[in-house]
Structure 1
Amino acid sequence: MATTVQVTFDAADPAALSRFWADALGYELDAPPAGFETWDAFLDARGVPGAERNRASAIHDPEGVGPRLFFHQVPEGKTAKNRVHLDLRKAPGVTDPAERMRLLEVECDRLVGLGATRLTRHEPVGLSLGFIVLRDPECNEFCLD
């Protein structure tokens, strides 16, 4: 049996970063635990002060296909390039280079509108079908592929 994977992000603002990635991926915020209508009700029951309520957030694929993403607050900022990154597959199976890059550009514009920063565009060459590199609102690199 395969091991289930969760991808964890260090974050300054877990709530905001989880909302960005939920919008980017079409994911949903995790629901509060059973028996609680809201996360605030759950955190009230646990005695968590208001100032500590943005320590973590999580999102999931509503279709249950993709991995859960977990965001937890850390005191330090990002200092170097990611050693692992997400590739958002927005043109799988599209073999026409011009159409593929057009589709990636449309998605890039949408993600920039959500708060991402565009870094570089890599044209189709050799084995590469082309891709675009971006950063999320907390400067984590990711690719449109």
Structure 2
Amino acid sequence: MTLRLDLTLDCADAERLAPFWKLALGYEDEPPPAPFATRAEWAASFGEPEEDEGGGAWLRDPSGAGPRLVLLDVPEPKTAKNRLHIDVRVGSTAWADITAKADELVGAGGRVLATFDGHHVVMADPEGNEFCVAS
């Protein structure tokens, strides 16, 4: 049996955060599982929840190489540093490529938390989830 790794990121607004992570990772929306035409139809197949559990976004690497990233709305706010974070690897050892990607993500709502010249940039997404941009 082959196992796959998915990453799930709790957030306040998955629909708002999904475009940021699609840009950061070069990912796309993952279609709902067959035979469902929409994610809402898929979710409805589990029956009526007792209370609204919030929304979500399912993102995938178009090449199929990377793990799926699932963004799930949760009611509680982020209160501490992530125990697991994502490294966005630019595929180049050139510092200019690393900083260009970081600048692109700042333009999309991210922010720089720390810079380790020549090596990596520590960033936060628009909801404050930490990640790094590196070679």
| TM-score, normalized by the shorter chain, greater than 0.5 | yes
* TM-align CA RMSD: 2.5
Distance apart, 1:32 and its partner CA: 2.9
Structure-2 residue corresponding to 1:10: 10
Structure with greater Cα Rg? 1
How many residue pairs match? The answer is: 132
Structure-1 residue corresponding to 2:71: 71
Q: 2:110 aligns with which of 116, 124, 140?
A: 116
List per-residue Cα deviations over 1:61-97 (Å, max 9, x = no partner).
11100000111111111111111111111144x3xxx
List per-residue Cα deviations over 1:28-66 (Å, max 9, x = no partner).
1121343554445x2796587xxx585222101111000
Gaps of 5+ in 1: 95-99, 125-129
Contact 1:15 1:54 in 2 (8 A): no
Distance 1:120 1:34 in 2: 43
Contact 2:53 2:74 in 1 (8 A): no
Distance 1:79 1:119 in 2: 16
Tell me the TM-score normalised to structure 2 length: 0.83
Flag the 1:75–1:90 CA change in 2: closer, same or farther, 3 A.
same
List aligned pairs for 1:81-120, cutoff 5 A.
Answer: 81-92=81-92, 94=93, 100-120=94-114
Flag the 1:2–1:33 CA change in 2: closer, same or farther, 3 A.
closer
1:141 aligns to 2:130 (yes or no): yes
Distance 2:133 2:17 in 1: 18
Contact 1:121 1:131 in 2 (8 A): yes
Counterpart residue type for residue 115 of structure 2:
R
Higher helix share: 1
Tell me the TM-score normalised to structure 1 length: 0.78
Distance 2:15 2:39 in 1: 12
Paired residue secondary structure (1:72): strand
List aligned pairs for 1:50-65, cutoff 5 A.
Answer: 52=52, 54-65=54-65
